Amino acid sequence: MTRKNFRGTARANWCACLTGGFAITGLALATLPSFRPIQDQSPETRKSTQNPVRPTGKLGQDIFLAIDHRDVTALQALLKAGGDPNSRNGLGFAPLYIAAASHQPDAVDALLKAGAKPDLASTYGTPLMFACATNNVPDAMRFLSLGANPKYQRTDGLSPLMEAAHADSLPLVQELMNRKVDVNAQDDGGYSALTIAARDGSLDVASALVAGGANLEVADENRQTPLMTAAMTGHADVVKMLIDKGAKVNAVDASGRSALVLTASYGDYPDVIHALLDAKADAGAKDKQGHTAGQLATARGFGQSAAILTGAPSKAEPMPTRTAREAVALSLNAIQASTKQFAEGAPCVSCHQEGLGRMVTGEAMAKGFKLDSSVQSTEQTKVLGMLMGLKPLNEGALHDPEVMKQIPLIEINEVSTSFTWILSGLIDQKQPASDATAAMTMVLARQQSPDGCWTFSLPRTPMQSSYFTFTALSVRAMNAYGPKADSAEIAQRLGKARQWFVAAPAKDSEDRASKLLGLKWTDADAKALDQAAADVVADQRADGGWSQMPNQQSDAYATGQALYALRVGGMAANNPVYKKGVRFLLLTQDSDGSWFVNKRAIPANNYFDAGFPHGESQFSSFNGTCWATLALLGAV
């Protein structure tokens, strides 16, 4: 199969999820006849709408639920009763995928003993790939010993070696190379295992790949090499290793940017700058707009890098070249263009475009920005069609636990992560409450955990990484669309959520931002709100931004999210904290309206080019651009 055909297959099968993670609910919902109002559907179509794609195979739904609940006793009983260990859910996942990805060796053992196929393939890979993606070394080794194909490439070209490289799993990378896999295989975005290791800063894995024959100059679809990728993401140790092995320091990407220019564009990385200059990188090289690395570092406020590149420390802080309104107008163009291309290539409803993206466009319209009416209409049709298509099932689920078990992808705990974003988009688009929104909201409400929060099972960093985020979005949905008939239940659930927000420790910037949102939306007392806001403010860096993790630099995702939370929490746009954050965003926006946010998520979703900048980091960058735009809208 040619690379072109790989991409075509991926476009046909891939469907972005409602969660920003696995292509989960989106694919299940895309199989529903739900993209027209239900009153316009035939009786046959209405009937099939009440029976969406669900796990196939005897007792399949219960098998998946047992694995998700980590109940191996129940799983063994189901298999003993004749349950099909090779069942498929609406995505084509097999139970072995989930057991391996969630590191449940007893469940893997039970499934294999019952006849689960260790090499069962789907659009999303094989059990081996799911084990490699989550660094589950014992089960990956077991699958290999049972004959799993180490050379498998799924429809977008991703391989077990690439998954293991992302997981920073040196044992699996070495084992797979020992089995003579193609170390230079590329996925549809042009990434090889070395590119992924370079992007993630996995020095030992990158070194092993180079020793195993990895091509130092392999180029992705933007003609960026592993050296460029490591440089622009600030991984100095990987940069030095690649240079020592002979990587070309002055090669340029499709936009005419060298590794040095890319480094100066996306972070203050003095160690990387020194390594590149020591290797004779051309300090006078320019991008297509005529900017040198020194000029870019100076303009973006990357002081240490600017001082090295220009030979003198900056005497004044740089001034943004555009206003908040101008920056929002630029970002809206990029967001809408990608949303249009996404809609043309993926028929499903997603958490990014139709969830977070619609939050942005809804607020933008309220601020008077003019949007592309055709994009808005297409999104509205998709979302309302899905909403109405699920209405009979959602209503039935509220009265029958057996029907609740048939909600698409509930068997892998992906209801909260999908319904929250869709309902949040509807809120900001001013969608009136209806029976359909009420039913979806109450199904979501009943996913609440006993301790008061809403969860997910498999993380997809960063958009699906925080229980605080989905708990906050869930209470927002209940406030907006909870039916009056269920007001007592809603009040009780909001109270439990508030107690959870107060008591639960926040571990990172997203947790703290979403904790503030949740406390605000559950009407917590002033003391709790003030403390939560203070905790968010304490994360602000000297450059005015926020970082996703302590060992990372500030980026648009964390900064936009923190500012949005502070704004919802009551902070005025003229507050020095807010102004400093806005300044960071204005300085770091690209001329195409986007912000670069490096991909960290498990590459479980099949890659699909939705037309947003930054290649395989385009969806994390799209999400970061949305959060940044929401923050800037507060300053317009």
Q: Could you read off the pLDDT of 566-609 as tens digits, one per residue?
A: 999 999 999 999 999 999 999 999 999 999 999 999 988 888 89
Q: Are the CB atoms for 423 and 437 separated by under 8 Å?
A: yes
- The answer to whether residue 199 is domain-embedded is no
The b-or-e profile of 103-113 (16+ CB within 10 A means b, else e) is bbeebbbbbbe
DSSP 37-67: -GGGS-HHHHHHHTS----BSTTHHHHHHHH
Give 522-555 pLDDT, tens digit per residue.
Answer: 999 999 999 999 999 999 999 999 999 999 999 9
Q: Are 379 and 453 in a shared domain? A: yes
Percent of the chain's residues with pLDDT above 70: 91
- The answer to whether residue 305 is domain-embedded is yes
- The answer to whether residue 448 is domain-embedded is yes
Q: Are 407 and 340 in a shared domain? A: yes
Q: Are 300 and 406 in a shared domain? A: no
Tokens for 615, please give them.
């290649």
- The answer to whether residue 178 is domain-embedded is no
∠ at Cα 90 (87, 95), nearest 5°?
35
Residue 294: CATH number of its domain? 1.25.40.20
Tokens for 373, please give them.
């009416």
Q: Which residue has the higher pLDDT, 283 or 18?
A: 283
Give 140-199 pLDDT, tens digit per residue.
Answer: 999 999 999 999 999 999 999 999 999 999 999 999 999 999 999 999 999 999 999 999
Say what the pLDDT of residue 348 is. Answer: 80
Q: What is the pTM of this model?
A: 0.92
Q: Which of 318, 348, 371 is the last residue of a domain?
A: 318
Q: Are 483 and 354 in a shared domain? A: yes
- The answer to whether residue 510 is domain-embedded is yes
Secondary structure (3-state) at 568: helix
Count of domains forming the chain: 2
Secondary structure (3-state) at 502: helix
Residue 367: CATH number of its domain? 1.50.10.20
- The answer to whether residue 202 is domain-embedded is no
Q: Are 498 and 373 in a shared domain? A: yes
The domain containing residue 228 runs over which residues?
216-318
Q: Is 305 exposed, middle or buried (0-12, 13-18, 19+ CB in 10 A)?
A: buried
Q: Are 312 and 242 in a shared domain? A: yes
Q: Are 553 and 626 in a shared domain? A: yes
Q: Are 262 and 398 in a shared domain? A: no
Say what the pLDDT of residue 222 is. Answer: 96
Q: For residues 101 and 136, give the distance between their C-alpha atoms in angstroms, rounded to a whole number.
A: 7
Say what the pLDDT of residue 451 is. Answer: 98
- The answer to whether residue 302 is domain-embedded is yes
Q: Which of 318, 349, 379 is the last residue of a domain?
A: 318
Q: Which of 318, 334, 354 is the last residue of a domain?
A: 318
Q: Are 619 and 570 in a shared domain? A: yes
- The answer to whether residue 366 is domain-embedded is yes
Please list, in sequence order, all residues whose beta carbon lies within 8 angstroms of the beta carbon of residue 319, skipping any fewer than 6 positions away: none
Specify the range with the lowest mean pLDDT, choosing from 286-290, 433-437, 497-501.
Answer: 286-290
At residue 13, does pLDDT exceed 50? no
